[in-house]
Structures are given as structure tokens and as C-alpha cells.
Amino acid sequence: MTKELDKQVGTGAKVSCPDDVEVKKGDTFNCTATDPEGNKATIVVTQKDDEGNITWELKK
């Protein structure tokens, strides 16, 4: 996810996700990306299965 995120928001973005996400197929949760200048964007993460595989989309 980091390389693709760097392409979209610039190198050095920090990502923060909740610690208490239950692994469950189809569930979604939000993470926050913060670039080096302090700009924030939401990342919507969707769980593809019960094994930790995900898809994600950046919402600016």
C-alpha cells in the first residue's frame, strides 16, 4: 500500500489505522494518511476475505 499511496499523495506520507478492526470479509474501515506538510486524506479500506487481504481507495 505504501508505494501506491506515495504515488497518490507524495513520498513520506504517514498512515494511521484503528487498532481494533475485526477481520471480517466485506467490512470496511477508515485510515488517515498525512503528508509531510500536514495535509490529511481518508483511506477507505475494504476487507476482501477473512485472511487480511484488502483493497483501498484514497478519498481526498
The pLDDT of residue 35: 86
Q: Which three cell numbers stand for residue 34?
A: 498525512
**Does residue 44 contact residue 18 with C-beta atoms inside 8 Å?**
no
Given this model, what pLDDT does residue 4 score? 74
- The pLDDT tens digits of the residues spanning 1-58 come to 667 776 776 668 889 999 999 999 999 999 999 988 898 999 999 999 999 899 999 9
Q: Where are the domains of the chain?
A: 2-59
Which H or E run contains 10? Answer: none
Residue 47, pLDDT score:
97
The predicted pLDDT at position 1 comes to 61
- Are the C-beta atoms of residues 9 and 33 closer than 8 Å to each other? yes
Q: How far apart are CA 34 and CA 38, in angstroms?
A: 6
List, in order, residues 6 or more apart from 56 with CB less than 8 Å away: 1, 31, 43, 44, 45, 46
| pLDDT at position 31 | 95
